[in-house]
Amino acid sequence: LRKVNSNASLGISSHNYGNSFDISYVRFNNILKYNPKMEVALEKVLKHYADAGRIYYIKEKQQSCYHITVKNY
């Protein structure tokens, strides 16, 4: 994966443990197209959950997605 995605971890990532996932901000309703309104709406929701202490999130570099890690309680 590292050969095609510079964001991929060199070792084991949080994806391996089932508490992280990625969400695209260019694919909505099975349509692949950049939609700035949907990107803003998605980030607003992610910020809400981050502010509530439920998740961490980052916008991936060179990838059209957000990386989300769910906090354990």
Q: Is 25 exposed, middle or buried (0-12, 13-18, 19+ CB in 10 A)?
A: buried
pLDDT higher at 46 or 4? 46
**Which secondary structure element, helix H or strand E, spans residue 69, and what is its range?**
strand 65-70
Q: Is the pLDDT of residue 42 over 90?
A: yes
At 64 the pLDDT is: 87
At 16 the pLDDT is: 54
At 10 the pLDDT is: 60
User: Helices marked H in the chain — which ranges?
Assistant: 36-51
pLDDT 10s digits, 25-36 = 887 778 888 888
d(CA 61, CA 13): 16
Q: Is the pLDDT of residue 14 over 80?
A: no
What residue segments make up the domains of the chain, in order of their start? 14-70
Specify the pTM.
Answer: 0.72
